[in-house]
Amino acid sequence: MAGSPKVLLQDETHCLEVMTGAILPEGTDTVIQYEWLDIKDGTAVLEKWEGLQEGRSIHPKGKDCPEGELLIPRGRRIGPVEIAILATVGKAEVQVVDHPKVAIIATGDELVPVAETPLPHQIRASNVHMLQGALKELFLEGDIFHLKDDREMLLVKIRKILSDYDVLLISGGVSKGKFDYIPGVLEELGIRKLFHRVRQKPGKPFWFGRGEDTFVFALPGNPISGFMCFHRYFKKWLFESLNTEKKPAYAKLKTDFTFKPELTYFLQVREERDENGEIMMVPNKGNGSGDLAGLTRSSGFLQLPSDRSEFKAGEEFPYFPF
C-alpha cells in the first residue's frame, strides 16, 4: 500500500502511477514521490536520490495489527475512531450493551417546581435536576418524578415506575423521619434491601437494594450527600454493569487535614498545582450537606478512611472527581 503521493518505478525505464493508499502490484518493494521525478516525453528521470531506500513509503499488510489481534476490547464506548475501525473490517452490525432506563424520584410535600416561588415552608426541587445533569455527563437520560409523602400513593406510584425502569434514583425519604416511608415501601414492593445506612459522612442514610430486574439507589435528601453517593456508588455500579470499570483514581492532599469522628469521610477538594507542577488537592469543607454553592469551589471528593483522624499533606487517597 502506498503511504503518500507516489509514482512506482516498475523497471529502469517505465513507471506506474498509483494514488495515495493504493494497493501495490506484487513484487513492489519501493515507492518514489512524484515530485522527485522529472518526466519528459514519457521518460521519468529520478533527480533526487537522498533518502531513497528499499521499502520507502510502503505500508505492509498487517503492520498495524497482525491477524487475530484484538482491535476493540469489550466494554469500550463506541466513538468516531471505533466506528471507523468497525467499518474498515466490515462490521456493519455489532452487539452493544444498552444503557439502563433511569427514573429520578423526588419525595417530599415541601418541594415545588423550579419555576414556582416557594412559600416559607417550601423549597424548590433541585436535587433531581442535579442528578439528571450528572446522568447526562454519563450519556444517560433520566425521567423525573415528584411523589408526595403519602405511603399508599408511594406504593402505587413506585410499583408502576419499577415496572417501567431499570434503575431508580430516589432523593429523600430514607432517614428516620416521621414521613420517611421509602425503605418500607420498597421492601413491601419486593425490592430486597442490600444495605441501609453507611458509616460515612456525608451520606449516612444511603439505602441500596434490588428487585428481579431493577436496582434502587435511595439517596439522602441533603444535596451534597446525594451527590456524593451518586459519584461514589452509582457510577461504580454503572461502569461495572457496562463492563467499563476503570482503575480507581488517587490524589494527594496538599495540606494537613483533621477529621475525628470514626466515619469514612468524603472530603470536598479542589485541584491546585504545586510549585513543581504536580496536581494536589486542597480541602474545601463547605458549610455542610446543604451547601450547593460550595460545590462550585470543588472538583471532587477524597475518600478518607475511618480508622484515623489525622491526614498529612502528600498522602494519597481515593479520588472521585465530578
Q: What is the pLDDT of residues 158-175, one digit of tens each?
A: 999 999 999 999 999 898
Q: What's the whole-number average pLDDT of the chain? A: 88
Q: Residue 66: its pLDDT value, please? A: 87
- Residue 47 covered by a domain: yes
- Residue 10 covered by a domain: yes
In whole angstroms, what is the distance from residue 260 CA to residue 265 CA? 10
Do 22 and 62 share a domain, yes or no? yes
Q: Residue 18: its pLDDT value, please? A: 62
Q: For 3, which DSSP code?
A: -
* Band of pLDDT at residue 3, cut at 50, 70 and 90: very low
Question: Quick check: helix, strand or coil at residue 87?
Answer: helix
Instruction: Report whether pLDDT(147) > 90.
Output: yes
* Region 230-248 average pLDDT: 89
* The domain boundary residue, chosen from 195, 221, 241: 241
H or E element in which residue 37 lies? strand 37-40
pTM: 0.77
Using CA atoms of 169, 172, 177, 179 in order, give the dihedral in degrees to the nearest 10: -80
Interacting residues of 258 by C-beta distance below 8 A, sequence separation 6+: 309, 310, 311
- Residue 306 covered by a domain: yes
Do 216 and 125 share a domain, yes or no? yes
Identify the weakest region by mean pLDDT among 13-27, 236-250, 277-291.
Answer: 13-27
Closest CA to 283 of 294, 273, 269, 272: 269
Q: Structural domain tally of the chain?
A: 4
In whole angstroms, what is the distance from residue 225 CA to residue 219 CA? 8
Q: Residue 208: its pLDDT value, please? A: 98
Q: Can you give the residue range of the structural domain that contains 298?
A: 249-321
Q: What is the DSSP string of 116-154?
A: SPPPTT-EE--HHHHHHHHHHHTT--EEEEEE-S-HHHH
Do 118 and 196 share a domain, yes or no? yes
Do 53 and 79 share a domain, yes or no? no
Do 76 and 197 share a domain, yes or no? no
Do 216 and 309 share a domain, yes or no? no
Identify the weakest region by mean pLDDT among 206-210, 267-271, 292-296.
Answer: 292-296
Do 263 and 302 share a domain, yes or no? yes
